[in-house]
C-alpha cells in the first residue's frame, strides 16, 4: 500500500559539524566545506494517529529510517531535475521524553537531516525556509500491511468490518501501517500546518488496487492480469485466512454431528472412531445431509415446536370467544 504523509521542518537551520560534513561528502562527487552548504532538520512522520486514523508503528519508522537515507527532496511532487532542492544525509528515529501519542504511548518521530548547496539559484528558497514560509514537506512510502488495531486483520487484503474511529470493547479502531517496503519521495509542498505539536499530516492515503481487486476485475472483463510480489503475498494471506475460517466451521459441524449421532445411536468405541474418520473427509454440506439422515426426529421436533406457538395462540383466542358476552 502506498502512503502519502506530511511532516515539517523543525528548525530554521542546522549547525554543520565535522560528522555531518563527512556524511554529506559521502553523497557528493567532490568534498564541500560547511560554508558552501545549508542544512536543516525535517520531521518526516511519527507514531501518532493522524487524521486518517492511521499510525506508523516504531518498527516501521525504523525501517523507513534506512529507506529515506539519500533520498532527494523535490518541490510539489514534480519529479523533474530542476525541482531537486535538497538531499537527506542522515535519518534516525527519535524519542521525545515526556511526550506521548494519542494512545498514551511514548512518542517517536522519524527525523531527517537534509542539505542544500548555497547558490544564487536557491538563495530565495533558503530565505523562505529561514522565514518559516516554506516548512511543510510531504513524504511518500510503501508499506506491506495495514493492520486493524481491533482484530489484527490486514486491511490491504480484506476489510474486517471495523469502523475507523469507533471503539470496540474499549479498543479504538485505527490502522497500523506496518512493514515498510520503500520510501520513494519527500517534497516541499504549499500546505498549511494542520496538526498540533508541529506535526502535519496530509489528508488521504493513496491506495492502489490490490491483488484481489485486480483478479475480480480481470474475471469481470475476462482479461489477463499481472500481479507483483507484494500482491502475491496479499493473495496468499487472504487464502490462508479463508482456509482457516473454513476449517473452523467444518470442525464445528463435525463436532456437532458426532455429538448428535453418538448420543442417539449409542455406537461402540470402534464404530465411533470409524465414524469420526469418515467425517474427516466430508464437507460441511455433506455433514448437514448426513445429520438429516441420522437425526430426522430432531428436525421434526424443531418443525413442530415452531408451529406450537401459533396453535396455542389460536386456542386461547377460541377460548376467549366462548366466554365473550
pTM: 0.57
- Name residue, grid cell 469507533: 166
Burial of 36 (0-12, 13-18, 19+ CB in 10 A): middle
82 versus 27: which is more confidently predicted?
Answer: 27
- As a whole number of angstroms, the distance between CA 286 and CA 175 comes to 40
Domain-wise residue ranges, the chain: 2-208, 212-299
pLDDT of 56 > 90? The answer is: yes
Residue 203 Cα distances to 6, 53, 101, 133, 183, angstroms = 9, 10, 18, 21, 18
What are the pLDDT digits (tens) for 196-253?
Answer: 322 233 333 333 455 666 676 777 777 776 666 667 777 777 787 778 778 888 888 8
What pLDDT is attached to residue 322? 41
What are the pLDDT digits (tens) for 281-307?
Answer: 888 888 888 777 777 655 444 444 444
Contacts of 136 (CB under 8 A, 6+ apart): 6, 7, 8, 188, 189, 190, 191, 192, 193, 200
DSSP codes joined into one string, 7-54: EEE-SS-----HHHHHHHHTSSSS---GGGEEEEEEEEEESS--TTSE
What are the pLDDT digits (tens) for 123-160?
Answer: 888 888 888 777 777 788 888 899 999 999 998 887 78
What pLDDT is attached to residue 201? 32
What pLDDT is attached to residue 300? 45
- As a whole number of angstroms, the distance between CA 151 and CA 172 comes to 11
- As a whole number of angstroms, the distance between CA 275 and CA 226 comes to 46
Angle at 275 between CA 269 and CA 280, to 5 degrees: 130
Contacts of 311 (CB under 8 A, 6+ apart): none
Amino acid at each position: 500500500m502506498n502512503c502519502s504523509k506530511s511532516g515539517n521542518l523543525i528548525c530554521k537551520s542546522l549547525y554543520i559539524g565535522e560528522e555531518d560534513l563527512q556524511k554529506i561528502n559521502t553523497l557528493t562527487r567532490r568534498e564541500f566545506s560547511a560554508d558552501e552548504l545549508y542544512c536543516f532538520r525535517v520531521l518526516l512522520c511519527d507514531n501518532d494517529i493522524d487524521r486518517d486514523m492511521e499510525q506508523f508503528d516504531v518498527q516501521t519508522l525504523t525501517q523507513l529510517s534506512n529507506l529515506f537515507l539519500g533520498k532527494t527532496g523535490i518541490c510539489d511532487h514534480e519529479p523533474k531535475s530542476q525541482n531537486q532542492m535538497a538531499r537527506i544525509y542522515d535519518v534516525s528515529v527519535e524519542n521525545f521524553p515526556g511526550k506521548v501519542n494519542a494512545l498514551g504511548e511514548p512518542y517517536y518521530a522519524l527525523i531527517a537531516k537534509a542539505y542544500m548547496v548555497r547558490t544564487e539559484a536557491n538563495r530565495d528558497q533558503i530565505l523562505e525556509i529561514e522565514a518559516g514560509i516554506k516548512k511543510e514537506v510531504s513524504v511518500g512510502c510503501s508499506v506491506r500491511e495495514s493492520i486493524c488495531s481491533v482484530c489484527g486483520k490486514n486491511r490491504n487484503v480484506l476489510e474486517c468490518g471495523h469502523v475507523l474511529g469507533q471503539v470496540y470493547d474499549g479498543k479504538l479502531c485505527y490502522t497500523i501501517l506496518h512493514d515498510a517496503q520503500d520510501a520513494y519521495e519527500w517534497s516541499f509542498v504549499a500546505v498549511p500546518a494542520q496538526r498540533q505539536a508541529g506535526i502535519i499530516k496530509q489528508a488521504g492515503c493513496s491506495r492502489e488496487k490490490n491483488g484481489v481487486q485486480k483478479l475480480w476485475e480481470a474475471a469481470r472483463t475476462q482479461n489477463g492480469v499481472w500481479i507483483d510480489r507484494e500482491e502475491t503475498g496479499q493473495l496468499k494471506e487472504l487464502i490462508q485466512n479463508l482456509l482457516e475460517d473454513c476449517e473452523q466451521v467444518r470442525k464445528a459441524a463435525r463436532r456437532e454431528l458426532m455429538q448428535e449421532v453418538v448420543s442417539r445411536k449409542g455406537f461402540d468405541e470402534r464404530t465411533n472412531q470409524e465414524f469420526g474418520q469418515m467425517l474427516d473427509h466430508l464437507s460441511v454440506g455433506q455433514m448437514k445431509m448426513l445429520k438429516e439422515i441420522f437425526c430426522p426426529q430432531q428436525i421434526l421436533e424443531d418443525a413442530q415446536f415452531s408451529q406450537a406457538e401459533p396453535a396455542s395462540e389460536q386456542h386461547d383466542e377460541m377460548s376467549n370467544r366462548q366466554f365473550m358476552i
